[in-house]
Amino acid sequence: MLFSATANALHIIGGVFSYECNGGGNYTFTMKMYRDCASIGAGFDDPAGFAIYKENANGTFTELTTIFRSPDIIAGIDPEDNPCINIPQNVCVQEGIYTFNYTFTDWPSATSYHISYQRCCRNSTISNIQVPDQVGATFTIELTPASQLLCNNSPVFNAFPPVAICVNQPLAFDHSATDAEGDQLVYEFCAPFIGGGQGGPGGNCTAVQPNPACPPPYSTVTFINPPYSPLNPMGGSPQVTINPQTGMITGTPATQGQFVVGICVKEFRNGQLLSIIRRDFQFNVVVCDQLVDANLTTPGLVSVGPDYFLTTCYDLDIPFQNLSTNNSFVDSVQWEFDVNGTTQIFTTWDALMHFPEAGQYEGRLVVNPGSLCNDTANIHVEIYPEVLADFDYDYDTCVAGPVSFLDRSAVLGAGQLTKWRWTLEPGIVDSIQQNPVHVYEVPGTTNVRLEVEDAYGCKDDTIRAVVYQPVPAIIFVKPNDTVSCAPATIFFNNKSSPLDSNYDINWSFGDGGTGTEISPSHTYQDTGLFDVRLEITSPIGCYTDTTFSQLVRVLAPPVANFSFDPTNPDNFNPEVDFNNLSTNAAYSDWYVDGQLVAQVPDFTYSFPDTGLHEVKLIVVHPEKCLDTLIQYVDVVPKVTYYLPNAFTPNNDAVNDIFTGTGFTRGVRDFDLAIWDRYGQKVFETKKIDEPWNGQIGNSGKAALAGVYTYIVTFTGPRGEPFKYRGFATLVR
């Protein structure tokens, strides 16, 4: 098979692979390749060789075939046809489209298929990768097992990248793709693959046209870093980036040149990765000659194409700033405004326009008026009438009551007010009524703000200081308790309003005690009924008072007391009777070791364990006053231990062993030793549950029948020593 070009061809500027699943293992593959038609390199390969590999389970690859195809379409792609931009004449791009079908016999497969094409070389003028004229490109697509199983179609990019990008001008290119099944697509910049080299035609990986294309994995281009990288292929200020959800490429390229950029779109379905489509492309960042463009700005201005709209609330002096471009092509400018039938003209670059009154006005900015190279921006101005906010207020200065507010705001001209916002308390919009009434709980000076708005959205506001210091209309005192036990500390919550620390406060608590706090606490030491009196004087001299007759009643407190029997219980007699001896108590709560065990006057309790136990009695007065008494009960741990006087180790399962019995919980340092009548020790153990089986040392020969002497020693739970001595008869 012959190739159309054998020379080193500096022409590749990108490409992309996609596929369609036709069912039954048959696929249609499409490769779009892009070349710089202004370069000195060769044209599109005719035919081009597409190698098909199957991935093996061990990670190696088997070549299935190489398909040779001529380009179906070769077409030039013109730069953006924009009369306001002059693209350099040496920017030229062609697209070659190759399409072929292939049927996989092992389908769906448990491993991936890879379809690849490789070609050298890239342009030597590329700015962001190393030795660009010595590396080519690999355009490849992978059919993953998941994609095969679903007969999935790959995403397809919607638009061709811009042929030329203007340096130092914002870029906004929609590089999104469409997926036939509506799968989730995630976009990112990635490193393009390299392929081929300068080794001439042939079948090796360094050939200009590798035949077949070499199998994966593929190396990536080496970016000149800093400043470039796969995720930052162009730099820029702000940096050129791609939105992972939308595929929108934005940023402002700051360096003129040619840049290799890789765009990867990952296709997911239900969180599973199906495919990765790679577009490898060369972006040309050039100096664009932009012709004149009439443009202006001022605060609040909105542009819709060549029309600019400004609505303002009684701002009669409006500065218009001229932002027209390109200055080198602008010979003159002219501002024109129609004011009540008279045209006012300015020929300065910027214009400060004074309008006589509210109303609607038309104007325009003309760049290069009378020239073939001109542009016009239409200006529409609407000035609304002035709004003025104002109000009054009124209230009884000595007796607390509501404050009435009266709106006196106005619109100076046609129009009417539609909204009112009153800030009657700090930080709170208290009312949207026109004339609100407000009750202040706290006296003092409050800055009240009124904001008004008319039907056009024009606003004004005003602030006035409202001084409010009457005495409370009703003295309202809420003590936290009115019946309690001595000593009783009562908190008198003064809920009278308005009231603050600037008022004179005088309390009489009925037992000779007094206070000057707004809400004091007072302790009654004696029992009895007490009157409480409160006097209040405002900062401007208004006075009020109230006496609360027999407001507080103080009773004798409860006293907790109890006895118990027996006073020295033990683990064999753990039951104890508790006798309640308390006075002035209506309820009793008994706690043992922190747990509530009874709510009766007297009760009996059986302690589940030995040791020192806390017994607490809490008694409650009918008025909920409390008293508490804690005593401790010591349950003594006692030990019993008994040994038999004879045993018969004849293996009849009856009295075969010699061992002790009894209650030995908590015993330590146990020792049992047994001697024969000759003084020889025949058995000893430190384990209280280990018996003597009648053999020497429990494992030797059988001991003779006869009488043996034993000694038992151990330490009790509280360290008390125990010692037992006796005789044991061994019967055979």
pLDDT at 84 over 80: no
Question: Residue range 161-168: average pLDDT?
Answer: 81
Q: What pLDDT is recorded for position 42?
A: 66
> 321 and 455: one domain?
no
Closest CA to 681 of 658, 657, 698: 698
Q: What is the mean pLDDT of the chain?
A: 90
pLDDT at 426 over 60: yes
Q: How many CB atoms lie within 10 A of CB 421?
A: 16
Q: How many CB atoms lie within 10 A of CB 107?
A: 17
Q: What pLDDT is recorded for position 9?
A: 43
Burial of 9 per CB tally in 10 Å (0-12, 13-18, 19+): buried
Question: Residue range 520-548: average pLDDT?
Answer: 93
Residue 1 belongs to some domain of the structure:
no
Separation between Cα atoms, residue 44 and residue 5, nearest integer Å: 9
Q: Which domain holds residue 679?
A: 646-730
> 251 and 325: one domain?
no
Q: Which amino acid is at 599?
A: Q
| Structure-block tokens of residue 14 | 């990108």
Residue 2 belongs to some domain of the structure:
no
Residue 57 belongs to some domain of the structure:
yes
DSSP conformation letters of 421-481: EEE-BTTB--B-SSS-EE--SS-EEEEEEEEEEETTS-EEEEEEEEEE-PBPSS--EEES-
> 236 and 97: one domain?
yes
DSSP state of 148: H
Q: How many Å separate Cα 547 from the centre of its chain?
A: 58
Closest CA to 95 of 163, 144, 156, 189: 163
Residue 557 belongs to some domain of the structure:
no
| Structure-block tokens of residue 220 | 């990536």
Question: Residue range 8-20: average pLDDT?
Answer: 81
The share of the chain scoring above pLDDT 90, in percent, equals: 70
> 277 and 147: one domain?
yes
Residue-wise pLDDT tens digits, 350-362: 999 999 998 999 9
Closest CA to 101 of 50, 36, 60: 50
> 97 and 231: one domain?
yes
Residue 4 belongs to some domain of the structure:
no
Q: How many Å separate Cα 656 from the centre of its chain?
A: 75
> 275 and 295: one domain?
no
Residues 87/79, Cβ–Cβ less than 8 Å: yes
> 520 and 430: one domain?
no
Residue 589 pairs in a beta bridge with: 618
Band (233; pLDDT cuts 50, 70, 90): very high
> 108 and 211: one domain?
yes
Q: What pLDDT is recorded for position 5?
A: 32
Give how many domains the chain has, as a whole number: 6
Q: What pLDDT is recorded for position 632?
A: 96
Q: What pLDDT is recorded for position 1?
A: 23
Closest CA to 698 of 662, 665, 657, 664: 657
Band (211; pLDDT cuts 50, 70, 90): confident
Band (200; pLDDT cuts 50, 70, 90): low
Band (427; pLDDT cuts 50, 70, 90): confident
Question: Residue range 560-578: average pLDDT?
Answer: 95
Measured torsion, CA atoms of residues 346, 350, 354, 359, in degrees rounded to the nearest 10: 90
Lowest mean pLDDT among 102-116, 146-160, 433-447: 433-447
Residues 466/446, Cβ–Cβ less than 8 Å: yes
pLDDT at 548 over 90: yes
Domain boundary among 447, 468, 489: 468
Separation between Cα atoms, residue 553 and residue 581, nearest integer Å: 26
Residue 484 belongs to some domain of the structure:
yes
Q: How many CB atoms lie within 10 A of CB 399?
A: 12
Sheet strand arrangement including 562-565? 562-565, 575-580, 603-606
> 132 and 71: one domain?
yes
pLDDT at 70 over 70: yes
pLDDT at 324 over 80: yes
ω before 170 within 30° of 0 (cis)?
no
Phi, psi (deg, nearest 5) at residue 346: -125, 140
> 454 and 486: one domain?
no
CA distances from 347 to 285, 367, 569 (A): 36, 10, 114
CATH code of the domain covering residue 318: 2.60.40.10
Q: What pLDDT is recorded for position 4?
A: 30
pTM: 0.45
Domain boundary among 546, 572, 594: 546
Burial of 679 per CB tally in 10 Å (0-12, 13-18, 19+): exposed
Residue 209 belongs to some domain of the structure:
yes
CATH code of the domain covering residue 723: 2.60.40
Burial of 201 per CB tally in 10 Å (0-12, 13-18, 19+): middle
The share of the chain scoring above pLDDT 70, in percent, equals: 95
Question: Residue range 476-501: average pLDDT?
Answer: 91
pLDDT at 428 over 80: no
Map residue 649 onto helix, strand or coil: coil
> 576 and 628: one domain?
yes
Lowest mean pLDDT among 83-97, 189-203, 357-371, 683-697: 83-97
Residue 5 belongs to some domain of the structure:
no
> 164 and 261: one domain?
yes
Q: What pLDDT is recorded for position 452?
A: 94
Q: What pLDDT is recorded for position 91?
A: 65
pLDDT at 585 over 60: yes
Domain boundary among 353, 384, 415: 384
Closest CA to 561 of 521, 601, 508, 514: 601
Question: Residue range 342-350: average pLDDT?
Answer: 94
Band (11; pLDDT cuts 50, 70, 90): confident
Q: What pLDDT is recorded for position 39?
A: 61
